[in-house]
Amino acid sequence: MVIANSPSSLTILENGDRLNREEFERRYTASKIKKAELIEGIVHVASPLRFTPHGKPHSNIITWLGTYQAAIAGLEVGIEPTVRLDNDNEPQPDAVLFRIDGNARIDDDGYISGAPELIAEIAASTVFYDLHSKKRTYERSGVKEYIVWRTLDRQIDWFILENGKYSQLESDALGVMRSQEFAGLWLNVNAILSNDMSAVLQTLQTGLSTQ
């Protein structure tokens, strides 16, 4: 007997499912799940997010990137957009920054297709995932810069793509990280870790003034 409104095994989306992108999108659309990703053919369903280790840092990263985008023509910033990378990978990164005429484009159905130039992830309980399978996926897909804010460790890792491999971007003597892909995109690491957004935006304005 079929029970009305009961979930079908063909529409359920669960952690660890192995799917291709087409089937992942079909099940995701049919579900009530708010955030799920397909990384290396494996489904990852997000847990509820806490304010201090995720919500607030996420807001600060978006403020920083959004301020930069507002000052530089030809860029887009997005919050948790679906990104179609290939048949096995459809992440939903915490933040993206990309050029309108760059590698990424907006498909007819509104999703991003192709690798944004920069992706940022807020990693509290997802550090292993963000620094391993996701990092491999972004590296292989040609994401030029990848930022991981390890909020529980109070550390920020910024990777830059060089000859197809990620290397770590180091901060300067003043504790400032400077994007290699986006001129003037400077990050005051100590300030953002301390939730001092005034200092973060001051440093960013200094970077922008060099352009």
Average pLDDT over residues 183-210: 98
Average pLDDT over residues 33-57: 92
Binning pLDDT at 50, 70 and 90, where does residue 10 land? Answer: low
**Helices 197-209 and 56-71: crossing angle, nearest 10°?**
20
Q: Tell me the per-residue pLDDT of 118-160, one tens digit each, with 9 for 90 and over.
A: 999 999 988 998 999 999 999 999 999 999 999 999 999 999 9
Binning pLDDT at 50, 70 and 90, where does residue 9 land? Answer: low
Binning pLDDT at 50, 70 and 90, where does residue 4 land? Answer: very low
Chain position carrying tokens 């948790």: 80
Cα-Cα-Cα-Cα dihedral sign, residues 167, 172, 177, 181: negative
Average pLDDT over residues 74-97: 97
Average pLDDT over residues 2-19: 66
Q: Alpha-carbon distance 131 to 51, whole Å?
A: 22
% of the chain beyond a pLDDT of 70 = 95
Q: Tell me, what's the pLDDT at 15?
A: 86
Query: In this model, does residue 3 exceed pLDDT 90?
Result: no
State the CATH architecture for 49-209. Answer: Alpha-Beta Complex (3.90)
Cα-Cα-Cα-Cα dihedral sign, residues 27, 114, 176, 191: negative
Q: Alpha-carbon distance 37 to 200, whole Å?
A: 30
